[in-house]
Structure 1
Amino acid sequence: MTDDVLGAGRAFLDREGRLVERRLTAVLFDGDDPAGVIDAVRAYRNADGGFGHGLEPDKRCPASLPIDVEFALDVLLAVGHGRPGWYAEPGVAALVGGACDWLGSVAAPDGAVPLAFPVMEGYPRAEHWADWTYVPGLNPTAGLAGRLHRVGAVHPWLDRATEWTWAGLESGIGEDAHTLLEVVQFLADVPDRERAAAVAAHVPSWLGKLHHFRADPADPEYGVTPLHLAPTPDSPWRALFDDAAIEGHLDRLTRDQQDDGGWAITWQPPGQASTLEYRGIETLRALRTLRAYNRI
């Protein structure tokens, strides 16, 4: 059964996934050369150092957007896991440094950035990509800062964004589980571990009050699940959930594999290509999580 899950998932990615997910799958599951992944990510990079062109597929805007920078960093993090010194290699460091420069150029004076900018309105996009995404916030500033700390970046914008995030956390995180995903990324990787531990103590109380948090594995609606917060057993957030909750969501994740081998999505992207691209992203995420928990 486990071989069937993995084989069918990989067949879906081979058939329907875009190049960046196919190359990342080959690195993570077959040990392929990561240089190909970097080349694939670089194709989404703009001359200003940011990333665009629908790297996050719910909008097809070619201009650089913070959400696309976040997606690029996630790919770099996936490849760099377990590779000491990899982020310092010239090609990778250039991508990270250019992204920091771009973020600094578009951030508010205090360092905060929004998910997107009005430039995307000239291109196809999902309905939820609306003007609320133009407001700087913890989502994505905290998550971007956390990811950049994890890769060892040093940059004036990162310093500003980090201090802005600490100040923002004094007022809580709001009501959306997506913001919590960004905040826990920050808390896991920010260098000030004592301060991070003090804020992390509030995470359990925040969790139960958030919109879009899907605690029940039987809930068919869109949402952030425990497996988004703890995608591996060694995640610092695994302890937020008991074994029954994790096992229930792993069972659900396994059952959600579709007849074509991929995983479905529960929202409406702007077109068929975007739908397949996001299904590829979600399929690779599912396979990585199931493997981490020894389900495949």
Structure 2
Amino acid sequence: MNDSILDTAGAFILREGRLLEQRLFATLFQAEPATGVVDSLRGYQNSDGGFGHGLEPDKRCPDSLPIDVEIAFQTLTAAGCPPAERMVSRACDWLAAVSAPDGAVPLAFPVMEAYPRAVHWSDWTYAPGLNPTAGLAGLLHRMGADHPWLTRATDWCWAALEKGFPDDAHAMSETLVFLEHVPDRDRAERVAERVGEWLPKLNHYRADPADPAYGLTPLHLAPTPDSRWRRLFADDLIEGHLDRLAGDQRPDGGWPITWEPPGAASTLEYRGIETLRALRVLTAYGRG
């Protein structure tokens, strides 16, 4: 990647982003140790073991929510942290305490209604589902975790997938994390054979690089060229989305978002997250 994109994006993260994204940027692009990322995450972990405090910035709820636990796990894996065993095991204990008996968890709980939140954070997020259960389980498998909740959640995900794929791109993205990292590789590969034909049916899947609407693109599902899911997409489609992603950088150095957060702070925080995501994708694909 050329220095101008990296420098201007890094300056945006330093100027407008959270400490967490600043430390993750330093780890990914400036060879700083990942301990700074772990230390930054500690401020978001509650005494019950879960994560909250708007770690996912679209709701400002300080209480622990499964979506915030997932963001914590995503951050740890992005930084290449060796498993922070106590941090992760405490979060798994919390997931076990709040999950349904079968292990499934929802994205959020009604406690968030007492705090500012984006309009899409509503009662639909209270239903347990593959989003986020499959993503949480997949990330824990990727980290090599071992916990009774993970066993229950994995069994639940397999049972849910036996009934069919989800109809939303976000839930499919979570499913792909699960299928990429779950230990039963033969079973995962059998299920994965059907993913490609299902993608065009998904809500919120944005296949056309020129489409300005909100949605997940092939680059969300295959963020690196060595991703398990890169083979699902034609080369020209990936190149078109890379062109679009590079062209979306704003004059202030950051990337925009296509939804309405609950406030100015949330907007800047999410722009920092999206800017770091764009840098990671463009770097992985060698674009500059």
Give, in whole Å, the separation in 1 of the partners of 2:180 and 2:233.
17
Give, in whole Å, the separation in 2 of the partners of 1:150 and 1:113.
19
Task: Tell me what 1:162 maps to.
Answer: 154
2:61 corresponds to 1:69: no
Give, in whole Å, the separation in 2 of the partners of 1:3 and 1:36.
24
Deviation at residue 7 of structure 1 after TM alignment? 1.1
Give, in whole Å, the separation in 2 of the partners of 1:275 and 1:173.
32
Deviation at residue 2 of structure 1 after TM alignment? 2.4
- List alignment gaps of at least 5 residues for structure 2: none
Q: Percent identity?
A: 67
Give, in whole Å, the separation in 2 of the partners of 1:174 and 1:295.
32
Task: Tell me what 2:171 maps to.
Answer: 179
Task: Tell me what 1:192 maps to.
Answer: 184
Q: What TM-score comes out, normalization by structure 1 length?
A: 0.96
- Segments ≥4 residues shifted beyond 2 Å: none
Contact 1:145 1:186 in 2 (8 A): yes
Task: Tell me what 2:10 maps to.
Answer: 10
Task: Tell me what 1:243 maps to.
Answer: 235
The correspondence for 1:122, drawn from 111, 114, 123, is 114
2:130 corresponds to 1:149: no
The correspondence for 1:99, drawn from 76, 91, 96, is 91
2:279 corresponds to 1:291: no
Output one character per residue of 1:252-285: Cα deviation in whole Å (capped at 9) or x when no partner. Answer: 0000000100000000000000000000000000
The correspondence for 2:131, drawn from 123, 139, 145, is 139
Q: Which moved more, 1:4-13 or 1:17-26?
A: 4-13
Give, in whole Å, the separation in 1 of the partners of 2:9 and 2:146.
38
Aligned residue pair count: 288
Contact 1:138 1:173 in 2 (8 A): no
Give, in whole Å, the separation in 2 of the partners of 1:125 and 1:158.
29
Paired letter, 1:207: L
Output one character per residue of 1:158-204: Cα deviation in whole Å (capped at 9) or x when no partner. Answer: 00000000000011122100011000000000000000000001101
Task: Tell me what 2:45 maps to.
Answer: 45
Q: What TM-score comes out, normalization by structure 2 length?
A: 0.99
Deviation at residue 5 of structure 1 after TM alignment? 1.2
Paired letter, 1:57: P
Task: Tell me what 2:252 maps to.
Answer: 260
Task: Tell me what 2:100 maps to.
Answer: 108
Task: Tell me what 2:261 maps to.
Answer: 269
Paired letter, 1:65: L
Task: Tell me what 2:219 maps to.
Answer: 227
Over aligned residues, Cα RMSD in angstroms? 0.9
Give, in whole Å, the separation in 2 of the partners of 1:173 and 1:96.
28
Output one character per residue of 1:209-267: Cα deviation in whole Å (capped at 9) or x when no partner. Answer: 00100000000000000000000000000000011000000000000000100000000
Paired letter, 1:75: T
Q: Matched residue of 1:208: which SS?
A: helix
Give, in whole Å, the separation in 2 of the partners of 1:74 and 1:140.
12
Task: Tell me what 2:198 maps to.
Answer: 206
Contact 1:59 1:120 in 2 (8 A): yes
Give, in whole Å, the separation in 2 of the partners of 1:5 and 1:252.
14
